[in-house]
Amino acid sequence: MSTGAELHLIIANKNYSSWSFRPWLSMKAAGIEFRETVAPFDEPNHNQHFLEFSPSKKVPVLQHGDLTLWESLAIMEYVADLHPDCRLWPADVAQRGMARAVSHEMHGGFGALRAECPMNMRRKIAPMAVSEGVRADVSRIETIWAECLEASGGPFLFGEFSNADAMYAPVVNRFEIYELSSAGHVEAYARTMKSLPAWREWAEASKAEPWTVEEEEV
């Protein structure tokens, strides 16, 4: 039985780990208390040390009492279930369905954007030549954000901050650092996301990290 036990989130480098950023931001923005451990990437050894705590050898991992959970979206669903008062999904059932649809599209999709344009909180803003695949991903995400923001009235995708925003947080960084979109609604949404105290805390911590992962510096 995990109820009452401490939530412990294990993540990798804040500068690079986009999947870690999502549940971390979700919990921080909602004011949910948790302990965090940063397990830095060790690419030369294929991150073998992740196996010490992660069944999938990937981060993030959430430990809660004797329960171990992996997969960012499963972690976010679990925490939302533990804290229904935090409204990590929209209250309205149709909106909740939409928020899950766009979150799952992010979780399973946008492979070109994820592969070619890694999240990098410290990267100097500079454009990069990208493939047609990335252009298509950017265009689809611009449409998702436009439709959600128009339907909700903003400033977050479903009005108030939700897990859908946490799922797209690393994309906000990618759009900015590689100058992938100049759409007005994208810039406004990025300003909203980056003004979250939780975003600023993550960004500051990433700057203080001593590690560089060459493969991620594109």
Ligand X SMILES: N[C@@H](CCC(=O)N[C@@H](CS)C(=O)NCC(=O)O)C(=O)O
Residues of the shown chain interacting with ligand X in the complex, contacts defined by CB under 6 A: 12, 17-20, 46-47, 57-60, 71-73
Q: Which is nearer to ligand X, 29 or 59 (CB)?
A: 59
Write out the two tokens for 74. 């499963």
Closest separation in Å from C-beta 43 to ligand X = 8
Q: What's the CA angle centered on 76, arms 14 and 205, to 5 degrees? A: 15
Closest separation in Å from C-beta 142 to ligand X = 23
Q: Which is nearer to ligand X, 55 or 97 (CB)?
A: 55
The end-to-end CA distance of the chain, in Å, is 44
Return the bridge partners of 141, or none: none
Closest separation in Å from C-beta 163 to ligand X = 12
29: helix, strand or coil: helix
Taking each helix axis from N to C end, the angle separating 132-152 and 93-108, rounded to the nearest 10 degrees, works out to 170
Closest Cα to residue 99, out of 162, 142, 156?
A: 162
Q: Which is nearer to ligand X, 44 or 184 (CB)?
A: 44
Q: Nearest-CB residue to ligand X?
A: 58
Q: Which residues does 141 contact at the CB level (< 8 Å), separation at least 6?
A: 110, 113, 168, 171, 175
Closest separation in Å from C-beta 153 to ligand X = 29
Q: Which is nearer to ligand X, 57 or 194 (CB)?
A: 57
- Alpha carbon distance 110, 119 (integer Å): 13
- Alpha carbon distance 46, 69 (integer Å): 21
Q: Which is nearer to ligand X, 40 or 60 (CB)?
A: 60
Q: Which is nearer to ligand X, 130 or 213 (CB)?
A: 213
Closest separation in Å from C-beta 57 to ligand X = 5
Closest separation in Å from C-beta 95 to ligand X = 23
